[in-house]
Structure formats: structure tokens, C-alpha cells
Amino acid sequence: MNITVIGAGAWGTALAIALSEKHALTLWGRDAKQLEGAARSRINARALPGITLPAALNVEGDFAQALAGADLALIATTTSGLGEAARAVHARQAKLPIIWACKGFDRVTGKLPHETIGEMLGGEARFGVLSGPSFALEVAKGLPCALTLACNDNAFAQSLAAELNGGSLRVYSNADLVGVELGGALKNVMAIAAGICDGMQLGLNARAALVTRGLAEMMRLGVAMGGKAETFTGLTGLGDLVLTATGNLSRNRMVGLGLAEGRPLAAILASLGHVAEGVNSAETTFKLARKHGVEMPITEAVCAILFHGADARATVQRLLSREARAE
């Protein structure tokens, strides 16, 4: 299969490296100078310094040329860049299937990516999301990783998952597109909470409780929005939550650690140098919770700290003092 990866950041580069073990891969990004350097040195120094690009991986700076002969476009931009990238692909090749590897909500509309892309591409298009517990650096190094593919056409998801599966990547299909996308978005909010918890040195018991109750929040909202409860106990729910809430490569966890130190959010985000999708997703998640009548106290606490100047320690204390109830 000829696959074109749109987006030459860490995740796009890592996916291109991993998938090039089995498929013909072309990597395209917006920064022509960055791509020129990567093609010459075989290292994408800005995104994944120290990782050598396979000889078989084609790095292409011309967008039209990158899509020429493609059987699949895999968009690995941020969520905010997904719509623009999908429109550009569709304008060049209207029937080309598109999948994306970003997690979150549209910052303006609050919609999930599949809602935005569905409205844009129309009913005959084939599209979906590739999601799951995955740090780009580990994938680029060839370490094992399991992902889930959910599409608007489940037969297409099953056949494409079988095509993508192989090498260091284990790819499963899932018919629950809503649940898979919500799991990827909501776990980032919980990872910020876990970072706050760890930054305050509340202990492993507290982290375990937070992750467990965070998963319960995710599941409540997911089911209310049409997702399946069992999706949230799989790779794109529990799996991604555990990784992002506990792994030191997690940008969202790093945001929480910084907030626990009392650092301003702007300074934390500037020091990261990358997008932390949980910050963008938190407010939308809380609005959706209110819309659907779902109680999400952890999400509410994260929003209070992120956007309303609430003191992290006092906010955590209020969470701990909530009335006991049945699990």
C-alpha cells in the first residue's frame, strides 16, 4: 500500500517510520526547509532528534507530488490543523481515504474530528481515526505498540487495520467511532489531573484512585454521547489513559506537574514546545458534560485550575472532601 503521511511532527514521523516496515511511505510537512534537512541527513532533527529515517521512507516537500499514487492519506497534524489538511487532500484526490492520528475537539465548534470531516467530505467518503496508547519516540524506535482504527465504514476499518497491522505495530479495528475519539480526547484532561496529583506528591494510592475515577467520568460522558462502555476499557480508553497519566513522555502530564508547582499555564506551554491537547479539550469536555447532564468533578477541577486561577492544592482538597457515595 502507498501511504502518504501529512504532518512531519514527532507523531507523523514516528508513524511513517513504523509503517515503512511494510508499506511504501511518503512523509510531507508544511516546513519545506525542515523536510529538506530531513531528506538530506535522514534525521528529522526538530521532531525526533537522534532517530534515523529508514532509507525506504520518502520525504517529499511538494504536496501534489507527495499524494501522487497514494492509496491512503494519514493526517498527523494537531486537531486544529486537521480540517485544513483534509480539505487539501480532498481537493487533490476526492476519493482518497483519509485517516487521522490526532486526539481532541475542534476548538471553535467543539465537535469531534469525525463530525467535522464527515460534514466536509460527504457521505461517500471513507475516513476514520487511528488512536491508542502511543508515545512517538517509542514507536520511532521500533518498540511494540498497539493501536485502534475506527472508521465510518466498519468493513473498511477491518480491512485497513489488517493492512496496517505488522512489524512493531499491532492494529485492531473498532466499530465505535464516537467512543474511540472521545477516549483519545478525554484521557488528556485526566492526564493533567494525574500530573497535578503527582506534582503535589500525593502518592501512588491517590494516583490510582484518580485514574480509576477519571475513567468513570470518561465512560459516563462517552455513553451519554453515544459511545459504547466497553470501548473505554480498551486501548483508546483505559490503555491510553494509563499511559498518558503515568508516562514521563506525556505532555499533558507535564502540564499538570507544572500547575502543581504554581507555574503559569502560558509558561508551561511555552516550555513544552509542543501542543498539549488536554488544555484545549478540558473546557469543551466540561461544556459537553453540562449539556448531557453528566457529573465530571475531576474535569471541573482541572478547568478551575487551568482557566479560573483556582489554587491546585485547595481544589484537590475540595475533591477529597466530597460526600462519600456508592461506587
User: Which amino acids are annotated catalytic?
Assistant: 187
- The grid cell for 277 is 491537547
In contact, 164 and 149? CB cutoff 8 Å: yes
In contact, 289 and 196? CB cutoff 8 Å: no
Q: Rounded to the nearest 10 degrees, what angle do helices 79-92 and 113-121 cross at?
A: 20
Q: Of 136, 140, 143, which is closest to residue 170 (Cα–Cα)?
A: 143
Q: Of 221, 216, 222, which is closest to residue 193 (Cα–Cα)?
A: 216
> What is the C-alpha to C-alpha distance for residues 137 and 224, in angstroms, rounded to an integer?
34
Strand order in the sheet with 2-6: 58-59, 24-28, 2-6, 72-75, 98-100, 127-131, 145-151, 169-174
- The grid cell for 142 is 521500533
CB count in 10 Å sphere of residue 93: 16
* Pairing label, strands 145-151, 127-131: antiparallel
> What is the C-alpha to C-alpha distance for residues 295 and 274, in angstroms, rounded to an integer?
30
In contact, 100 and 29? CB cutoff 8 Å: no
